[in-house]
Structure 1
Amino acid sequence: MSAMQTAIPLRPGDTVATVAPSSALEDDQRLQEGLAVLRGWGLCPLEQNVSARRWGHLAGTDQERFSDLCHEAPLLACARGGWGSARLLERSIRWKPGWLLGFSDITSLLWSRLKAGLAGGIHGPLLTTLGAEPAWSQERLRQLLFGETPPALKGEPRGGGQTTGPLIAANLTVASHLLGSDHVPELQGAILILEDVGEAPYRIDRMLTHWRLCGALQQLGGIGFGQFEGCDRNLDDLLTTTLEAVLDERTADLNIPVVKNLPVGHICGNAALPMGQLACLDGNLGSLSLVA
């Protein structure tokens, strides 16, 4: 996978379309708080009413949610995650140049878009989480959208030296269900950053084992683990395998840089990561930096 060109930076006055491709919204106030952050940067969100849409547990029918992806706005900002975006991949999406922002269930769209060869995907805060993000995280997202280079991220060094490669981020559960589909970007030599929420350690083990059996982990140039919120307990107290032990053991023989505890995932302080951009992962220093 070669380096991808950066999307055209946003400018004050550019429009923003709210995209609700997944679960129905539960809190319109949080959505409005996120839109207010974008307005503070000089961006102009379109007048929409995605909060009112319902189709079962989803934010509208597949057609309604698919139509969100057809907006001409330079930034498509996803409202929330949950489940549902992968259903839209059953249709042919004509991805347009520009930016797509989101994480968690939005992994499906970010990966599909990257596989189609488009830069501008950002694994980062949703509109319903952006307002609660700390100042440094909001500023990092603004820098990426407006063409500036944010500072390096720090995590826990786990060794393996240093590598440079295209950056790919994902929710582990969502990405695991894309393996074997036509929506998986090139993993050879890539730096993969994984996060998850609410999965017991044995389930994390099961998913990483699936990646190993597919040969996917063995292709990577480096791997970073973000936050695995609520993933440190097994359902059965008699099972004592810890999350830390699973992450260490499943990557110990890869002989690539590994960094843990990066500020990425279902936490307040979810650092934005540009999909496909060249990055450097240093397993000895525990850092992840973008290559300008």
Structure 2
Amino acid sequence: MPNLYVYSPSGAVRDRAAFRRAVRRLQAAGYAVEVDPAALASHQRFAGDDDTRLAAIERAAASGANVALTTRGGYGLTRLLPRLPYDAIDEAAARGMAWVGLSDFTAFQLAALAQRGTATWAGPALMEDWATEPLDEITTACFNDLAQGVGEGAGWRLPLADLRAYPALADGWRVDGAVLWGGNLSILAGLVGTPYLPRVDGGLLFLEDVGEHPYRIERLLTQLLQSGVLERQRAILLGAFNRYALTPHDRGFRLETVVAWLRAQLPGIPVLTGLPFGHVPTKLVLPVGRPVQAVIEGRSALLLWG
């Protein structure tokens, strides 16, 4: 039976009833769940002050669990990066612990990769997924595979617009041994110029964001473009960008406009969409910092790491 350690490294959990419901669901699914003693701590908007959240990360690293699962994202990890226990995090991963999360957890993941080369997992969070109705079957199946050590890859169906943008993909496309990395666009762009953004050359960069208008998404992508991050990749994989509102002022400027603009800036580097990841019910579980094989056959896109 896989063991899960649930802890709160970022924002405070406000809905305690939903928290308890989510833990019960994991237990009903057969998991042994250990809840960090500060999982429901609160200090301003955070799950405890900085020392409290750092101590929670240290307890997670020492827990011996199969999976260390965050309760939620929000904000708070970026300010902890100079003090993270990188050696303990890396040693736990080397023993087989999967560090799993998304959103604000991107800061933890990229810093661990930059500082120690530690591979982690982008995937669900307790409150984002098990506290909601209904449970998504694909998300839970991907998580179960990871927790049981049998996950070997993931795939999705490319939108037709991608094949129209890149007709050569119809003949097939393959990349071997490229490092998969990325996460939340806002968090990642905020690490540019710091020692906590890994330099990945020839990688596969996946991105998502929530609550950001397309013009802000373009601005963040411009930061990555002008800093040289994007041109060093083999492909850009775009997940979900949602929970924003267009206005009459936009006059047709929308997310598709941003994607078309980005493709024009990166000739020879595919910008692919439709990746099931982000603040959406259906999300894949993806290795961050691990070499993968990427294959496109027709409209089928596959990432393989088994």
TM-score range, shorter chain: 0.7 to 0.9
SS at 2:253 equivalent: coil
Distance 2:275 2:209 in 1: 12
- Following TM superposition, by how much is the alpha carbon of 1:282 offset from its aligned partner in structure 2, in angstroms? 2.9
Q: Secondary structure, in 3 states, of the residue corresponding to 2:261?
A: helix
1-side partners of 2:288 and 2:36: how far apart?
27
TM-score by length of 2: 0.83
Distance in 2, matches of 1:264 and 1:27, equals 24
Residue of structure 2 equivalent to 1:9: none
Q: Following TM superposition, by how much is the alpha carbon of 1:283 offset from its aligned partner in structure 2, in angstroms? A: 8.6
For structure 1, list consecutive stretches of 5 or more residues without a partner in the other structure.
Answer: 1-11
1:1-292 matched pairs, under 5 angstroms: 12=1, 14-50=2-38, 52-71=40-59, 72-73=62-63, 74=65, 75-94=67-86, 95=89, 96-97=92-93, 98-115=97-114, 116-119=116-119, 121-131=120-130, 132=132, 133-148=135-150, 149-156=152-159, 157-158=162-163, 159=166, 161-164=173-176, 165-231=178-244, 233=246, 237-252=249-264, 253-277=266-290, 278-282=292-296, 285=299, 287-292=301-306
Question: Could you tell me whether the CA contact under 8 Å between 1:144 and 1:274 is conserved in 2?
Answer: no
Counterparts of 2:242 and 2:197, CA distance in 1:
24
Q: How well do the aligned residues superpose, as a CA RMSD in angstroms?
A: 2.2
8 Å CA contact retained: 1:33, 1:128 = no
Secondary structure at 2:4 match in 1? strand
Whole-Å separation in 1 of the counterparts to 2:246 and 2:300: 25
Q: Which runs of 4+ in 1 moved over 6 A?
A: none
- Percent identical among aligned pairs is 26
**Corresponding residue SS for 2:58:** coil
Alpha-carbon distance in 2 for matches of 1:90, 1:272:
27
Alignment-mate amino acid for residue 128 of structure 1: M
Question: 1:215/1:63 Cα in 2 relative to 1: closer, same or farther (>3 Å)?
Answer: same
Q: CA deviation at 1:184?
A: 1.6
